[in-house]
Amino acid sequence: MQINQNEPSYSLSVAAEKAGARLDSFIAGETPLSRSATQGLLEEGRILVNGKSVTKSCKLKAGDCIEVFLPEAKECEAEPEDIPLDIVYEDDDVIVINKPQRMVVHPAPGHSSGTLVNALMFHCKDSLSDINGVIRPGIVHRIDRDTSGLLIVAKNNEAHLGLAAQLEDHSLSRVYKTILCGRLGGEGTVDAPIGRHKTDRKKMAITTEGRRAVTHYKQLEELEGGFCLAEMRLETGRTHQIRVHMAHIGHPVLGDPVYGRPTQFEKKHPALFAGQCLHAGELTFIHPRTKEKVTVSAPLPANFERILELLRYKD
């Protein structure tokens, strides 16, 4: 295809320590673009290595020069919807939302309306970054549909690039609270790569072909019935990361129908479970414009608090 050299682009150079990396993985790590978005651009001939078109599996060499040409932004096909938002922080550059369980972050097959993006488009009007395309305006990172808590959104491309860089270098910190099956007995780290499950494409799994994923955990409180309240700190942000890692070490998240099994407690109190007991309660970032550190928090949802009340030891 004919590339318009005036299109916005990323110009990247491969450092010696990055030699041997796959092209799509390298670009996903160096820019806000996801691997799937990168692969789409490759198929369209919008990514050049040393001036030539290559495939996604191209192995890079030290000193390679990469140009990424983005297409012109298209009008978003999602419709603004007047959906109430729990706004924890907002200014001209960023907005932080406390997302409830059952809300999908962006439109997808089967979820064309009622998403966080639909609500943001109504609230923010045209003030959302367009780096991640027309379906995910402003979206820098995601949390699962059935996970509640804090999610930061960029209102312009400069803020988006700044926040994406913080996700990459881990200066954007996310702390979760969760109830786990079993007892952790202390604190530790799970460092295990996560990728798509080989037979069930809706699930993720620990696999040597996956991307590095690191979760730091700490037990906060023992609960009745063999459960515990725990804190999770993400060093990376892979899909379903906490859920996959905790199931991997034998402590699935309570209420997780994908990576765990229904407990007797869930069967006894089904009305309390709108999803897994996992809440993104604290988020810290460096403001992309002021460079000041900002920490925001959100309380546990009412159903989570009620579950804790029922599981705590009685005097």
Q: Which residues are catalytic?
A: 144
How many other C-beta atoms lie within 10 A of the C-beta of residue 273? 21
- Phi/psi of residue 239, nearest 5 degrees: -60, 130
139 forms bridges with which residues in the sheet? 153
Q: In terms of C-beta distances under 8 Å and separation of at least 24 residues, what long-range contacts does 89-94 make, across chains too?
A: 89/294, 89/296, 92/127, 92/155, 92/156, 92/289, 93/154, 93/155, 93/156, 93/158, 93/159, 93/287, 93/288, 93/289, 94/152, 94/153, 94/154, 94/155, 94/159, 94/163, 94/285, 94/287, 94/288
177 neighbors 222 (Cβ within 8 angstroms): no
288 neighbors 129 (Cβ within 8 angstroms): no
Of 195, 144, 134, 138, the closest CA to residue 164 belongs to 138
281 contacts: CB under 8 Å, gap ≥ 6: 149, 150, 175, 176, 177, 297, 298, 299, 300
54 neighbors 65 (Cβ within 8 angstroms): no
- The two tokens of residue 310 are 């029922």
95 neighbors 87 (Cβ within 8 angstroms): yes
